A = this chain, B = another copy of it.
Amino acid sequence: MKERFVSYIHELQNTICAELERIDGKAKFVEDAWERPGGGGGKTRVITNGNVLEKGGVNTSIVHGQLPELMKQKFGVEEANFFACGISLVLHPKNPFAPTSHANWRYFEMYNAEGKKIDAWFGGGLDLTPYYLFEEDAQHWHQVCKNACDKHHSDFYTNYKKWCDDYFHNSHRNEARGIGGLFFDYLKDGNDGLSHDQWYDFVTEVGDSFLPAYLPILEKRKDLPFNAQNRYWQEIRRGRYVEFNLIHDRGTLFGLKTNGRIESILMSLPPQVRWDYNLKAFGPEEEKLMNVLVAPKEWIVEKEFKS
C-alpha cells in the first residue's frame, strides 16, 4: 500500500501542476527537493506571480522514522516508528473573485518497537475559500465532492462535509474559513464496512476529483474585472486564512512543533495580507459571503431521495 499510494501522489502532483501551469499560461512551478533529518523527505513545488495564481504550492512528502513525542502522546503509544506520505496543496489566485483552494490526501502507518505494523489509515479532504460568493461555484464544488463520495458510501458526503465545516472554523471569530468541502481522517480497514483497499479507492477518487471541482471555477473567475476595493477585501479575508492556519490548523501547528520544514508548511500562507482594525463588510457583495460563513449551509441542489 505504501508504494501504491506514493506513486499515486507523485502522479497526482504532476497532473495537478501541469494543469495549473496550462491555465496560468505564464508562471511555472519551481521544485525544491528536501530531506528530513529523521528520515525521508519531500518535493515542494511552488508557483508565484502567475497570470492567474499569485502564489500556490503542490507538495508531496514521504517521511518515516521514530514517532515524535507529541504523536506518541496523541496516540497513547510508547516507542513506535511511523511512515507517512501525502500530497498537500494550497492555491491563492490573484483575482479576488477566484477562490483559494486547499486539499490534501495522506496515508499513515505506525509500527511497534519490533517493527510490526500496529495501525494504518488514510486522511485528507478538500475545501474552498471564496472572497466573494458565487452560489453556482459552491454548488458545483460540493456536487463534485458528493459524486465522489456517493460511489463509496451513501453517508460519506454528509459526514465528511460536516467534519469539514466543523474543522475549518475560526472559532475565535465564530465564522467558517470558507464554504467547506470534505474532511476525513483515521479511515481504517473495517471502518464503515470498507477494507483497506476500498479506502484507497475512496481517497484516490476524492484526490482525482480535485481538478474537476476546482478548475471550472478558476476558469470562470480568473479574468473577471475587479477594482481596488475587491482586492482590499480579498487581502482582509486572507488575514482570516492566516489566522486559521496559525491558530487552529492541527497540521500546521503539528509541523511547527515537530521540526517540520518551515517553508513547506508555511507555503500555505497567502502572499499579500491585510489586517485593519474592526473592518466590516464594505457592502452587499461582501455581506453575501459573510452570511454563509457565519452559518454553514447545504449546497447540494437536487436531493436524491433514499429510503
Contact = CB atoms under 8 A, between A and B. Distances in A.
Interface of A: 32, 46, 48, 55, 57, 172-173, 235, 239, 242-243, 246-247, 253, 256-257, 262-263, 266-267, 269-278
Given A246-B243, A262-B172, A262-B173, A273 B273 contact: yes
Nearest to A267: B277
B263 A278 contact: yes
B275 A32 contact: no
Contacts of A242: 242, 246, 273, 275
Contacts of A48: 276-277
Given A172-B262, A242-B242, A256-B172, A57 B277 contact: yes
A296 to B, nearest CB: 20
Given A57-B277, A277-B46, A272 B272 contact: yes
Interface residue SS majority, chain A: mixed
15 contacts: A32-B278, A46-B277, A46-B278, A55-B275, A172-B262, A235-B272, A242-B242, A242-B246, A242-B275, A243-B266, A246-B246, A246-B247, A263-B278, A272-B273, A273-B273
B262 A256 contact: no
Contacts of A262: 172-173
A253 B270 CA distance: 21
Given A271-B276, A272-B272, A272-B273, 5 more contacts: A46-B278, A48-B276, A263-B278, A271-B274, A273-B275
A46, A48, A277: residue with the most chain B Cβ atoms closer than 10 Å: A277
Contacts of A172: 256-257, 262
Contact of A277 (B55, B239, B247, B272): B55
Contact of A269 (B266, B270, B275): B275
A275 B172 CA distance: 23
B247 A253 contact: yes
Given A246-B242, A247-B246, A272 B271 contact: no
A17 to B, nearest CB: 15
Nearest to A32: B278
A243 B256 CA distance: 11
Nearest to A172: B256
Contacts of A272: 235, 272-274
A172, A242, A271, A274: residue with the most chain B Cβ atoms closer than 10 Å: A172
